[in-house]
Amino acid sequence: MNTTGKPILVGAYGRTSTTGKKQDPGLQLEELRQVADQRGWTIVDEYVDAGFSGTMDRRPALDRMLADAKAGRLGVIAVFKLDRLARSLPHLLTLSENLACWGVGLVSIRDPGIDTTTASGRLLFQLLGAFGEFEAAIIKERVIAGVRRAQAQGKHCGRPRKDLELRPALAMLREHRSLRDVAAILGVSRTTLRRRLQEADEWPVLPTEAA
């Protein structure tokens, strides 16, 4: 319940992945209205993205709501569940950090404890952020270890190697065309062309050619 005496200006956000009767954002908004009435909130606007996946970082209503929050028109953003707002932890944490910078709270009425307008709610979000950073670090370590194992086995890692026919390159270079021009004609970088020539033991092409 609002005991400050000042109106708490709320943006109510709803989202469904599909449109139609199977998923009705109105049900989410109705519950948000009931909670707002119980807590003494004033709903400034209702923002609804119908037919948008939660994996999409940019959505029309979400973008409009964030713009209103940044402009100081909202004091709290209320959602039915956190997965209505974002499906990934990194996206959710980014949204939360932006809202915190703008002085806007985040409340999820179906996720116990998710209320950044309270000290315990902020603590819970900090723990979520710590877990997110830990997960990202573990994934990074696994990727690096996998790349090193593949390299040790002689496998190529990184971007796929572009097929490059060296005979035209050699012919043009022997006509005293510059490495830069030949690389541009073949559609590769100068570094890539020189490396491929070195791997084929064809560099330098001319005795006077600089590496």
| Burial state string for 79-104 with b = 16 or more CB within 10 A and e = fewer than 16 | bbebebbbeebeebbebbeebeeeeb
Q: Which of 17, 53, 88, 108 is catalytic?
A: 17
Same domain, 105 and 203: no
Kindly report the CATH number assigned to the domain that includes residue 108: 3.40.50.1390
Structural domain includes residue 96 = yes
Structural domain includes residue 78 = yes
Same domain, 42 and 123: yes
Q: Using 70 as the pLDDT threshold, list the residues of the chain that sit under it.
A: 1-5, 19-23, 128-139, 155-163, 207-211
pLDDT score recorded for residue 45: 96
pLDDT score recorded for residue 177: 84
Same domain, 108 and 168: no
Same domain, 123 and 169: no
Transcribe 158-197 into DSSP letters. SSPPPP--HHHHHHHHHTT--HHHHHHHHTS-HHHHHHHH
Given 79, 111, 131, the domain boundary residue is 131
pLDDT score recorded for residue 211: 45
**Known catalytic membership, residue 17:** yes
pLDDT score recorded for residue 176: 83
Structural domain includes residue 141 = no
Given 82, 113, 131, the domain boundary residue is 131
Structural domain includes residue 65 = yes
Q: Domain range holding 188?
A: 161-211
Same domain, 115 and 173: no
Structural domain includes residue 152 = no
The structural domain count of the chain equals 2
Structural domain includes residue 1 = no
* pTM value > 0.75: no
Per-residue 3-state assignment (H helix, E strand, C coil) for 99-149 = HHHCCCEEEECCCCCCECCCHHHHHHHHHHHHHHHHHHHHHHHHHHHHHHH
**Are 13 and 62 a contacting pair, CB within 8 Å?**
yes
Same domain, 169 and 116: no
